[in-house]
């Protein structure tokens, strides 16, 4: 890893050079056109395989948890169930809800507007909050909802919650309950609960009722399966199933949170004050690179990340399947370097350490060095 890849948190000088901006955008567009033209049956077949493998892990995991009479068998069951939950959240669910397979013939089950994932987050709210707002206004205060998760801020351009002085505790709680919190986050329930006047546009009862219903319709079937139906099937050992399901859930939540935090916060990441706008598509491309970073993991872990370890590529090409992001990463890196656009990447421990350091710096209100 070259040190310069994690350096600089200021906007890139290329934004003041129209000819370089146009050349950079032309290279990105050419890559997009070439790769998107090849997305098809092979990609659909792959997501189906991953989905089937995920379901096998679920059956194995839940079976082992059900019959386990020793800690080792129970732990193997927990890990297998975690793999299922993680694949459904990222490699399968996140990608499908982005519309990666919408234009592929025969992708009926994997259409973004009808897909239902095995994750306690309302799909319609997620598509609006993530696809439109987060990807459309990445790291822009008061426009990108993902600059704050619960009480954890990812930028100093947002106000902190009154009396919030324990960033460590809030981050631990945030990561432990991440997907449940994301449901409250995207449906708008969390802003209502915390009375976020800087975010809320509508605090009427009809608005709150819609948010509550959207949150409940995702929570009810998901948690009923894990904490009511399967525990009841175990009879007197119901507590063992509840414990194991909670452990698998905790692992998935923490792993997903680590992926997301590492992609959008760190010493070199640029965040923008309210009112910032890209003046052109080329500048929007540059802003995506300034506001994201990659982290390097082995292939198996990348699959569990759903390609979010290639956050730069994902933000430039949000509708590409993860395997395509992995294939073009080297080319994107070269294009960025050729045109003077930041491309930050490092080992996962390095990036995670930097991300958490930045979260604590922001919480304390300490200026950047």
pLDDT for the residue 5: 43
Give mean pLDDT, residues 55-69: 97
- Of all residues in the chain, what percent carry a pLDDT higher than 90? 75
12-28 confidence digits (pLDDT tens): 777 778 899 999 999 99
Taking the domains of the chain in order of start, what are their residue ranges?
1-36+121-305+324-369
State how far Cα 54 lies from the chain centre.
19
| Lowest pLDDT segment from 57-66, 110-119, 144-153, 214-223 | 144-153
Q: How far apart are the first and last CA of the chain?
A: 22
pLDDT tens string 307-338: 999 999 999 999 999 999 999 999 999 999 99
Q: What mean pLDDT comes out for the span 154-166?
A: 75
**Predicted pLDDT of residue 4:** 34
Tell me the pTM.
0.90
Tell me the two tokens of residue 196. 């976020």
Overall average pLDDT of the 50-73 stretch: 97
- Give the model's pLDDT for residue 149: 85
pLDDT of 293 higher than 50: yes
Q: What is the mean pLDDT of the chain?
A: 90
pLDDT of 252 strictly over 60:
yes
DSSP assignment letter at 278:
-
Burial 324-362 (b: 16+ CB within 10 A, else e): bbbebbeebbebbeebebbbbbbebebbbebbbebbebb
Q: Residue 10's pLDDT band (boundaries 50, 70, 90)?
A: low
pLDDT at residue 172, rounded to an integer = 87
């Amino acid at each position: 890893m070259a040190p310069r890849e994690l350096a600089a948190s200021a906007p890139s000088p290329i934004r003041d050079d129209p000819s370089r901006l146009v050349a950079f955008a032309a290279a990105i567009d050419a890559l997009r056109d070439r790769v998107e033209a090849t997305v098809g049956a092979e990609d659909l077949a792959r997501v189906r395989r991953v989905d089937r493998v995920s379901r096998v892990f679920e059956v194995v995991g839940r079976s082992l948890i059900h019959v386990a009479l020793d800690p080792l068998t129970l732990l193997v069951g927990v890990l297998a169930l975690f793999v299922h939950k993680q694949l459904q959240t990222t490699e399968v669910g996140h990608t499908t809800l982005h519309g990666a397979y919408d234009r592929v013939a025969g992708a009926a089950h994997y259409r973004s507007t009808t897909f239902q994932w095995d994750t306690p987050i309302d799909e319609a709210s997620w598509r609006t909050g993530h696809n439109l707002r987060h990807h459309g206004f990445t790291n822009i205060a008061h426009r990108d909802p993902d600059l704050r998760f619960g009480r954890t801020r990812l930028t100093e351009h947002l106000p902190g919650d009154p009396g919030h002085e324990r960033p460590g505790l809030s981050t631990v709680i945030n990561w432990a309950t991440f997907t449940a919190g994301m449901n409250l986050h995207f449906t708008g329930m969390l802003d209502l609960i915390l009375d976020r006047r800087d975010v809320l546009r509508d605090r009427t009862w009809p608005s709150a009722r819609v948010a509550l219903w959207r949150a409940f319709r995702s929570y009810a079937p998901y948690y009923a399966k894990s904490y009511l139906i399967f525990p009841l099937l175990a009879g007197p050992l119901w507590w063992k199933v509840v414990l194991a399901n909670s452990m698998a859930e905790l692992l998935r939540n923490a792993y997903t949170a680590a992926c997301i935090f590492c992609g959008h916060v760190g010493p070199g990441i640029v965040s923008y004050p309210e009112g910032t706008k890209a003046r052109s598509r080329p500048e929007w491309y540059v802003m995506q690179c300034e506001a994201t970073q990659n982290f390097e993991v082995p292939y198996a872990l990348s699959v569990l990340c759903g390609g979010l370890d290639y956050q730069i590529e994902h933000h430039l090409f949000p509708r590409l399947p993860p395997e395509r992001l992995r294939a073009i990463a080297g080319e994107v890196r070269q294009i960025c370097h050729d045109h003077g656009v930041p491309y930050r990447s490092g080992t996962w421990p390095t990036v995670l350490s930097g991300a958490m350091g930045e979260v604590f710096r922001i919480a304390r209100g300490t200026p950047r060095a």
